[in-house]
Structure 1
């Protein structure tokens, strides 16, 4: 999970976030540059807006939570590697960060649930 400030800047992450970012980084031994503290998560999501992904939907959901327009947002999306197919659920909930409305962004591996629902 990551905490975003009112502007979408990543201000805090947990160990699982950092471990995943390191495991799938293009630079071995380093966290993926676009998901570390100090990076604007909204800008990263805006760059990935292609017909094959859900970046636009994720971006709008995060913006809506940060603006107070909605109370929470959830999105199931594929995140496949060359070796394996994964599905994640992104959940965004509001969070007070230094007196402003921020957000808690969690990505949960829901691959087992996805496989069960396909049977």
Structure 2
């Protein structure tokens, strides 16, 4: 059966769900910032629609090569951004690049704060 509690260093379904929710929240915030900077005033609901897509791809391919995971997550985010925001290819590329740049900067900063 599934354990009802997860150890601090353990895994399990609860740990996966929490990791997914925290990562999706982080992704939604960075996506909204990228959309604000590139497109101007955009509703935050669009960022919430895009956010789970790269997170799911990253979680599914995290056991493989990190570069492969990043490329697939970027491609998935690109498609989701194009579909949700209804942009041209150039606009989608610009928003996607800002999204991943902001995500990388915040991840590096938070990693240095919390993992030091």
Common topology (TM > 0.5)? no
Taking structure 1 as the reference length, the TM-score comes to: 0.31
Taking structure 2 as the reference length, the TM-score comes to: 0.32
Rg bigger for which structure?
2
